[in-house]
Each structure stands twice: as C-alpha cells, then as structure tokens.
Amino acid sequence: MSRRYLGVVIIVFVAACFQQRPVTAQLVVPGMGTQIHYVGDDFEDPDWRFIDRLPKSSRENDGYARSPLGYAANRRWSEGPERGHPDRLEIIPTPADGLPGSEHSLLMQTRNSGVPGRNSFDVQQDDLIVNCQGRIGSSIRVSEMPNCLVRVFLPPPEQWEDRSGPHFGFRSGLSSAGNTTGRGFFGSLAGNVAEPYWPGIWIHFRSETSRRVEQDSAFLKVRGDRSGRDFRVLEIEEFGWWTLGMSFTGDGKVHFFASPGVDPLTEADHLTSQYPYSFQAARFRTFFFNACNRNDGKTWSTPFVLDDPQLFVVNAERVAALVERKERSRERAAAAKAKTGTTKTR
C-alpha cells in the first residue's frame, strides 16, 4: 500500500470517527426506570394551592415576563415566563375510573390567556410548568433516558369550549445537541449552539358547530416532524381518562405514547418517534401543560383534569444523588429553623 493511499485511508477513518451520528437506543416506555418522587404531584395534599402573582407573564407575546412569577405552595409547579398560568387551578375529587387510590386531581382551566388586559380574539394559551430543573438542580442528559407521563381526564363533548382546534398540550422542554448548519429554527446564530425547543402532544377538538363537521370529536397531534409541523397520530374514540407519555433517548429522539384509560403504558401505545425540528435532543429540562382558549375575556377553556404527573429516569444514579443532596439540605434547614424557633420561645 502506497503512503499516499494509506494517508487517504487514515483521513477518511478519522473523519468518520468524529462525524456526529445518533447512537442507536432502545425504545423507552414512559414509566420505565426509577421514579423521581421529588418531581411531579399526586394532588392529595389538603393544603395544595397555587399562588398568583398577577398580572400574568406574556413574554412570548409582548416581551414582558412580569416577575415574580406564580407558583404552587409545594414548589412543584410554576408559571412559565413565556406565558401566564391557567386562571383556574383547583383540587377536585378524582373523576370516576381514575387511578386506583387517587382521591384528588387537579382541574385546569383558563379564561384570560394572552397579554393581560388585552383581548386578541384569537386562540391563546397559558402554561403550567412542572418544576423539574428547579427542584433537581440540574437538567437531565438524554443518555440517562428520562421519561414522563400523566393521566388526563377529557370531559364529555358538551363541556368542551365550542371551537375546533387545539385545546390542551402536554409538552417537554428540551435543548438540542447543537446546531452546526446555520441559523436555527428559533433564531440562534450559526455554530454549535444548543437550541431550546418544546415538542409534545396536542389534543384537538372538532366542534359540530364548525363547517363540514357532523358531530363532536377529538384527536391527537404530535409536535412535530423534522420541519416542526404538527401531524395527526390518533383519533380519540372515547372521552374520559387518557394516559399520555413521552420518553427521550441517547440517540436524541423523542418518543410519544398515548392510551385510553389509566393503565401503565406499553410498547403497543407507541405513537411515533421523531427528531422534531430536525434537532437531536441533548438535555431534558422539564415538562408542562397548555390550556388553550379564544382570548375574548369571557370564554373559558375546556375543563381538563390532571392526575399524577410523574418523572422517571432509567439511568438514575446521578439524578438520585442530586435529589438526595437536596432532601438532606432541606431537612437541615428545617431542623435549624425549628431549633431557632424553640430558642426564641424560651
């Protein structure tokens, strides 16, 4: 073999080694791995409440985050800076046929979406954010295979907002492995820049009052394909409880799942796996929920009910250690506070 030919072979081999390629990963069904109880909620706390910090945030629409943001008293939920929180967040008795042993769930509904005090008369949305990164103290690498799921109660058709289109979103907050091909979908400069993006599952409604719609019905859409477009994946044959889930694997893919009822998800409930916006996911930051309505100042969104939003991690050693450290720190702080209080009362 000539030196020149050998040199070409070496260059090709080195280039292949350094080329970024997604690694093959198993399909992770949401609910696999170790549950991170420090994140999520079961809504059984009798003192559960959400603390408003009005006016709500609307940075996505007008550039104003309006801090401080709203939050739940248990610190497991927060208002998002891009959009405000739903106006109605109430603990209610769990609807029939819910999770065994569940007595309470969260009713989520909004009216004043969009920019506070301004009626746009189009569809706007509010966000309810699960405080994952804040409580853990870190985002989660997709190589650790995080996954999340929730049970959602879909009310009977007559209780839905009379509007065809998106009504509810179950979404995740991710950052990409980097964009090296120029300006990204969300406006980052060229170079190896991590992009934030928010894939998820949308519940759409077809109202019988809309043109060419004979009867009320609903279906699921996924956001999104390689171009970021939403696409339909499943017709909803029955209203009531549904289980929705997403998982994230080391190849950077997002995997979407859904099933009627509250039983654990299985591989049979897999809807699709995607690289939304052509991004390869690197880190999972949180998951959250959207309530959509016509922003006219008087129309309430469809009353959805959430139960047991949960986070799991398959390779959970690092995350479990972070959580243990957080819990020990909280215990020490509580003990110090109790000791100070006892001293002051003597």
Report the distance separating Cα 271 and Cα 204, nearest Å: 16
DSSP collapsed to 3 states, the chain:
CCHHHHHHHHHHHHHHHHCCCCCCCCCCCCCCCEEEEEEECCCCCCCCCEECCCCCCCHHHHCCCCCCCCEECCCCEEECCCCCCCCEEEEEECCCCCCCCCCEEEEEECCCCCCCCCCCCCEEEEEEEECHHHHHCCCEEHHHCEEEEEEEEECCHHHCCCCCEEEEEEEEEEEECCECCCCCCCCCCCCCECCEECCEEEEEEECCCCCCCCCCEEEEEEECCCCCCEEEEEEECCCEEEEEEEEECCCCCEEEEEEECCCCCCHHHEEEEECHHHCCEEEEEEEEEEEEEECCCCCCCCCEEEEEEEEEECCCHHHHHHHHHHHHHHHHHHHHHHHHHHHHHC
Question: By residue range, what is the domain housing residue 90?
Answer: 27-315
- Mean pLDDT value across residues 8-32: 55
Quick check: 343 pLDDT over 80?
Answer: no
pLDDT of residue 285: 98
User: Which residue is it, tokens 């309530």?
Assistant: 291
Position 235, amino acid = E
Q: Residue 346 has what pLDDT?
A: 54
Lowest-confidence range among 108-112, 243-247, 253-257, 339-343? Answer: 339-343
Instruction: Examine residue 343 and state whether it is found in any structural domain, yes or no.
Output: no
Specify whether the CB–CB gap between 159 and 142 falls below 8 A: no
Residues 6+ apart with CB under 8 A from 85: 50, 52, 56, 70, 78, 79, 126, 127, 128
pTM attached to this predicted model: 0.88
Q: Is residue 269 included in any domain, yes or no?
A: yes
Segment 14-42 shows an average pLDDT of 74
Task: Tell me the CATH number at 244.
Answer: 2.60.120
Q: Which residue has the tokens 């970024």?
A: 20
User: What is the distance, to the nearest Å, from the Cα of residue 138 to the centroid of all Cα atoms in its chain?
Assistant: 16
Q: Give the pLDDT mean for 199-215.
A: 97
pLDDT score for 17: 38
Instruction: Look at residue 199 and tell me if it is in a domain.
Output: yes
Residue 224 CA, chain-centre distance (Å), reads 14
Which of 2-16, 78-92, 200-214 is least confident?
Answer: 2-16
How does residue 25 score in pLDDT terms, banded at 50, 70 and 90? Answer: low
With respect to residue 342, please indicate whether it lies within any of the assigned structural domains.
no
Among residues 139, 146, 141, 140, the alpha carbon closest in space to that of 28 is found at 146
Torsion of CA 127, 74, 152, 277, to 10 degrees: 40
Q: In this structure, are residues 285 and 106 in contact, taking their beta carbons and an 8 Å threshold?
A: no
Q: Which of 5-14, 79-88, 216-225, 307-316 has the lowest mean pLDDT?
A: 5-14
**pLDDT tens digits, 252-284:** 999 999 999 999 999 999 999 999 999 999 999
What is the reported pLDDT for 135?
96
Residue 16 lies inside a defined structural domain of this protein: no
Question: 216-242, pLDDT tens digit by residue?
Answer: 999 999 999 999 999 999 999 999 999
User: Burial of 80 by CB count in 10 Å (0-12 exposed, 13-18 middle, 19+ buried)?
Assistant: buried
Structure tokens at 274: 């995607």
Q: Are 216 and 205 in contact (CB under 8 A)?
A: yes
Residue 292 confidence (pLDDT): 98
How many domains are there within the chain? 1
Mean pLDDT of 164-193: 71
Answer whether 263's CB lies under 8 Å from 245's CB: no
Percentage above 90 pLDDT, the chain: 82
